[in-house]
Amino acid sequence: MKNDVVHTVLNFVDHNRYAVASVLVFILAMGLVLNLTGCQATTAGLITTADGQTPKVSSAEFQRQALIGEKDFAVQRIELDAQIAAFNEEIRAFNERVAAGLDDLQRQDEFKQQLLETVGLIAVSATEGTLNPAALVPIGIGLLGGALGLGTSADNRRKDKVITDLKAAA
């Protein structure tokens, strides 16, 4: 039986064994290449699991995790901007209190200096015998005006502090 197909194929394979082997290796290699290109690429994810591991994720999952991370950073930036604004407002209120306190101290020192000058003038006039009781009236009015100004100034500082505290609380 010379027409036996199996015997003819086996003779051909035996006669061309390396050519057949190279064709089979080529077919297996192409199968491997096709299999690898069909697999989805993965990389370490951006979000760690509860046990501290970073699982492998696909491209779509990686992009989703990146968007979540960007959103979280944007939220943190907004929170930090709010904290910075509150801190700057605190500093501004503190600086206003410092300026008001320094102004108040300066007014008090000026009032003391004016009082000492007036008392000194009265004392000099009394010792020289040139003291005129009528001249004491404008001096008394001036001292009264200074005292009223000092009291009003202290009252305004207190009111400003109450307003500042109410604004800070709001």
72, with CB counted inside 10 A (0-12, 13-18, 19+), is exposed
* Residue 91, helix vs strand vs coil: helix
Q: What does the alpha-carbon distance between residue 71 and residue 10 come to, in Å, rounded to a whole number?
A: 67
Taking only the tens place, the pLDDT of each residue in 22-41 is 999 999 988 888 777 767 77
Helix (H) or strand (E) holding 43: strand 42-44
pLDDT for residue 85: 96
Kindly report, residue by residue over 64-119, the tens digit of the pLDDT: 999 999 999 999 999 999 999 999 999 999 999 999 889 989 988 988 888 788 77
User: Could you give the count of Cα atoms lying within 13 Å of 155 in the half-sphere of its Cβ?
Assistant: 6
pLDDT value, residue 75: 96
Q: Is the pTM of this model over 0.85?
A: no
Q: How far apart are CA 80 and CA 155, in angstroms?
A: 37
CA gyration radius, the chain: 48
In this prediction, residue 2 has a pLDDT band, given cuts at 50, 70 and 90, of low
pLDDT tier, 6 (very low <50, low <70, confident <90, very high otherwise) = confident
pLDDT tens-digit readout, 115-142 = 788 778 777 777 777 766 776 677 777 7
